[in-house]
Amino acid sequence: MNKYLIFITILAFGACKSPEARYPVTQKSGSHISESIAKNQELLEKEIALIETAINRDSTREYQSSQDGFWYTYHKKIEDSTDSITPEFGDIVEFDYSISTINDEVIYAEGEKATRTYAIDQEELFSGLRQGLKLMKEGETVTFLFPSYKAFGYYGDKNKIGTNWPIKTKVTLNNITEKEEIQNQQ
């Protein structure tokens, strides 16, 4: 009996020992982060060079640089008037689009993807197109040149668009239904 009491006492005191911090066997300096930054900067520089080459090849159009890191040109532009609005948060837009490589190799032809209905900033859409739609007015057709980080990035679209592909997207904005209009219909 005494043996059991001693064993339980030792076990109880041994279990009350405070936990000790465990340290990693090896420590890394964070150099992989610096390498990743350098690699991504190099990738962006290459993509910008490809985009600039594409812009220079298309001498018939005037491209503009957006604040959001992509380039665009109008095929059909609606001149400013009091009727012309651009979509804002919550508005519903209907648009058609096609996607090609920067070198004009068709990825998704016009009409291959069905007309898309999209609630501005409330649904999933790649970031460049989401920002590009906000620049457009109803009835306009615009070609956007997106570096890969504004398009489908590292993962691609898991179908026809590969890893880190800069793309060219031609978009026609067919209709804008303003948020207030939607609320009044409900």
CA angle 128, 168, 76 (to 5 degrees): 90
The pLDDT tens digits of the residues spanning 11-70 come to 666 655 566 777 767 666 667 788 888 999 999 999 999 999 999 999 899 999 999 999
What are the structural domains of the chain?
39-185 (3.10.50.40)
Q: What is the pLDDT of residue 79?
A: 82
Closest alpha carbon to 150 in 160, 137, 164? 164
Average pLDDT over residues 4-8: 71
Q: What is the 3-state secondary structure (H, E, C) of 16-46?
A: CCCCCCCCCCCCCCCHHHHHHHHHHHHHHHH
Residue 2: pLDDT above 80?
Answer: no
Q: What is the pLDDT of residue 14?
A: 60
The pLDDT tens digits of the residues spanning 74-117 come to 999 988 666 678 999 999 999 999 999 999 999 999 877 768 99
Which of helix, strand or coil describes residue 92?
strand
pTM of the model: 0.79
Average pLDDT over residues 153-179: 92
Measure the CA–CA gap between 47 and 65, rounded to whole angstroms.
15
Cβ neighbours around 72 below 10 Å, total = 20
Q: What is the pLDDT of residue 108?
A: 92
